[in-house]
Amino acid sequence: MRSGLVSLLTDFGPDSRYVAEVKAVLLAPAPGATLAVVDLGHAVRRHHVREGAYLLRSAVRSFPPGTVHLAVVDPGVGTERRALVVQAGGHLLVGPDNGLLWPAACSLGQPEFRELVHPDLRRTRVSATFWGRDVFAPAARWLALGFPFEDAGPPVGDPVQLPAVPPRREAGRLQGEVCLQDAFGNLSTNIPGEWLADLPECVWVEAAGKVHAAWQVRTYGDAQVGQLVVLVGSDGFAEVAVREGDARARLGCGPGDSVVLRA
């Protein structure tokens, strides 16, 4: 009995029938095998490839090697953009060639890209508007069931990358970008968590043109209710939070905005 795990990220919206149609393809019974699907999120803002890319990157390492990550934020559906499968760190990622898979793939290891062209990997009839169901889902399914990565299609040497400003580390000063916000208003950055060791217990947070005092803590419960804190988030990156409050509202910034943490 073969078993496999597929994660699913889209911008189709919560409670979308399109998500159901993708899962119908993924979960069609296969003799001697069971797949399970985990929703990584469907509330990515429509066509926000960057938001989807960071969400994917933040979660992939919680999945075991062997997982196939299917991601569809695809403003170019039905046009000439390529369909990709990526192998990195023992994981596979499937989606459009628009940068969506890039940050997650790099965070997992040295990525190897192939174009999804093998005819067995797609539906015989492909609709022009729903590659998620007709191209990406069948490919993810067959790859999860053991179809060899090398047979998916030719290597791709020039996958589309997201323009990214890497985080900067100077004496007592860390500069980066807010990548994600969660339902609690916690802000996740692209500043590696271990860099926080450069800073003292009390740090300054610069964001949206203002400066705020914050405390470095190990966990939310170490702060007072309402206190602004900086800590290593569960994804390994520096996170700005307010205990039982909303850092996004406090700082007035969100994904894509610049943030500085300094002594």
Contact region with its own copies (CB under 8 A), list: 28-36, 110-118, 162-170, 200-208: 28-36
Min dist CB 240 to its own copies, Å, is 13
CA distance 135 to 121: 7
Q: Centre a 10 Å sphere on the Cβ of residue 150 and count the other Cβ atoms it contains.
A: 10
CA distance 188 to 210: 18
- 58 forms part of the interface with its own copies (CB under 8 A): yes
Min dist CB 207 to its own copies, Å, is 20
Binding letters toward its own copies, positions 180-199, x by CB under 8 A: x-xxx---------------
CA distance 100 to 54: 8
- 24 forms part of the interface with its own copies (CB under 8 A): yes
- 142 forms part of the interface with its own copies (CB under 8 A): no
- 145 forms part of the interface with its own copies (CB under 8 A): no
- 161 forms part of the interface with its own copies (CB under 8 A): no
18 or 204: CB nearest its own copies: 18
- Please enumerate in sequence order all residues whose Cβ is within 8 A of that of 199, keeping only pairs 6 or more positions apart, or say none: 172, 174, 216, 230, 261, 262, 263
Q: Which of 165, 168, 172, 218 binds its own copies (CB under 8 A)?
A: 218
**48 token code pair:** 């926000």
3-state DSSP assignment of residue 245: coil
CA distance 102 to 194: 23
* Backbone dihedral angles phi then psi of residue 103, each to the nearest 5 degrees: -60, -40
Residues that bind its own copies (CB under 8 A): 1, 3-5, 7, 12-21, 23-25, 27-30, 32, 34-36, 38-43, 46-47, 55, 58-59, 62-64, 66-67, 75-79, 127-130, 133-134, 180, 182-184, 218-222, 231-234, 239, 244
